[in-house]
Amino acid sequence: TRAKLLSHSAMFFYSFVFAVITLILFAAPSTFPGVLGYASNIQIRKLLDQTNQVRSQHNLSTLVLNEKLSIAAQKKAEHMFANDYWAHVGPDGKEPWDFILAQDYDYVFAGENLAKNFNDSDDVVDAWFNSPSHRENLLGKNYDEVGFAVVNGTLNGYETTLVVQMFGRPRDVSAIATVDAQERLLASLGGASTVATSNSVAKVVSPSVNASSYTSDDITPVDVNSLSTMLAVGFALFLLILLAVDIWYSKIHTIPKFTGHSFAHLLFLITVIISILFVIKPGAIL
């Protein structure tokens, strides 16, 4: 008889354990907020460079980082965390333009891109570029300036990273930020990638004040994406090993490889791997 590790009941047990661990992984943040999250290495300078690289590739002028737009982006991220929503328009009806106007940025054209739960800057810009509506903003001919905010906080029970990108063209073209002003703003960030927050928005600060405001939480959340990937890959490898043992067993006992349990196990493995792809949630844009 075949080893018990390859029996149908064993396969059911493996699937059950995998399902339970997956449910715990995605349900835990509601019980222990701030423990699980989406760790990231997103930097504003890289977001700016990637955005301008995409524009240059399409023969468009580069955008200059603007302090007022960056503060507006920061305030929008704060507002989403404070009101626990993920949308362009807040539950109180507040729109992106309200944050821009609140910074005395008198614009002719303006736009907004949002992203969350990405691991690095390149992935964020790539996702925006691959979306027609977001690409329209990235390649907008009516924009001269851009602002970014990369903020950590708890959203819907998950410790997560929000990226807000604000575009604009000021009514007064003489008010367009200079490259020197852009470099001073980037230098004020002190090389930090994100503005860390806890469960309270009170610790969030504006991106332009001083570099010392950019701190990290004492507790670094465990990355849900990494955990999900390790779990999925580990489970798939485990099943592959079992399948290899099954085929080896069939061979030494002169059992046809694609009859009986072997073929059923192969189909089961394919189904599981496809299911895993749906379980692992990539970053989202809006």
Confidence band of 105 (pLDDT split at 50, 70, 90): very high
In which band, very low, low, confident or very high, does the pLDDT at 221 lie, cut at 50, 70 and 90? low
CA distance 173 to 101: 17
Is residue 227 pLDDT above 60, yes or no?
A: yes
Specify the pLDDT at position 151: 92
Give me the pLDDT at residue 31, please: 58
What does the pLDDT look like over 47-91, one tens digit per residue?
999 999 999 999 999 999 999 999 999 999 999 999 999 999 999
Using pLDDT thresholds of 50, 70 and 90, give the confidence band for residue 6.
low
Q: Name the pLDDT band for 212 (thresholds 50, 70, 90).
A: very low
Q: Nearest 5 degrees, angle CA 106-CA 107-CA 110?
A: 140
* Interatomic CA distance for residues 77 and 74, integer angstroms: 5
User: Is residue 286 over pLDDT 80?
Assistant: yes
Are residues 82 and 201 in contact, defined by beta-carbon separation less than 8 angstroms? yes
Q: What is the pLDDT of residues 154-199, one digit of tens each?
A: 888 777 889 999 999 999 988 898 889 999 988 887 544 444 443 3
pLDDT at residue 14 in the model: 74
In this prediction, residue 277 carries a pLDDT of: 58
Q: Compute the average pLDDT of residues 82-108.
A: 96
| CATH fold for the domain made of 40-220 | Pathogenesis-related Protein p14a (3.40.33)
| Cα–Cα distance, 46 to 115 (Å, whole number) | 15
Q: How many CA atoms lie within 13 A of 11 on its CB side?
A: 21
